[in-house]
Amino acid sequence: MITCRNLSKSYGDQIALKDLNLTLEAGDAFGFIGPNGAGKTTTIRILATLQDPSEGDAWIGGHSVTHEPEAVREVLGYMPDQFGLYEGLRCWEYLEFYAAAYRVPRRRWASLVEEVLELTDLIQKKQAFVETLSTGMRQRLCLAKTLLHDPKVLVLDEPASGLDPRARIELKLLLKELSKMGKTLLVSSHILPELADFCNKVGIIEQGRLLASGSVNSILAQASRDRYRLRIRVLQRCDEARQVVEQQLEASDLEVSEDGFVLTTAVTLEGQADLLDKLVRDGFRPIEFAHLKTDLEQIFLEVTQGLTA
Ligand SMILES: Nc1ncnc2c1ncn2[C@@H]1O[C@H](COP(=O)(O)OP(=O)(O)OP(=O)(O)O)[C@@H](O)[C@H]1O
Ligand SMILES: [Mg+2]
Tens of pLDDT, residue by residue over 56-81, are: 999 999 999 999 999 999 999 999 98
> Among 197, 222, 247, which residue terminates a domain?
222
Does residue 140 carry a pLDDT above 80?
yes
Ligand 1 close to Cβ of residue 41 (< 6 A) = yes
Give pLDDT, residue 242. 92
Q: Is 12 left (phi over 0), alpha (psi -120 to 50) or beta?
A: left
Same domain, yes or no: 274 and 132: no
d(CA 256, CA 241): 11
| Same domain assignment for residues 215 and 264 | no
| Nearest CA residue ID for atom 3, ligand 1 | 11
* Predicted confidence (pLDDT) at residue 298 exceeds the cutoff of 80: no
Q: How far apart are CA 276 and CA 127, in angstroms?
A: 65
Q: Which pLDDT score, from 0 to 100, does residue 295 have?
A: 60
Q: Which are the contacts of 273, defined by CB distance < 8 A and separation ≥ 6? A: none
Q: What is the pTM of this model?
A: 0.79
CA 110 to centroid of ligand 2, rounded, Å = 34
Q: Flag whether 300 is in a domain.
A: no
Q: For all residues of the chain together, what is the average pLDDT?
A: 89
Does 61 fall in a domain? yes
Is-contact 212 204, C-beta < 8 A? yes
CB 121 within 8 A of CB 46: no
The last residue of a domain, from among 194, 222, 250: 222
Q: Which atom of ligand 1 is nearest to the CA of 81?
A: 27
Distance 95 CA to ligand 1 centre (A): 30
What residue's CA is closest to ligand 1, atom 4? 11
CA of 37 to the centre of ligand 2 (A): 7
Residue 17 alpha carbon, nearest atom of ligand 1: 14
The parent domain of residue 41 ranges over 2-222
Residue nearest to atom 16 of ligand 1 (CA): 39
pLDDT at 309: 39
pLDDT of residue 94 exceeding 90: yes
Domains identified in the chain, total number: 2
- Whether residue 247 sits in one domain with residue 207: no
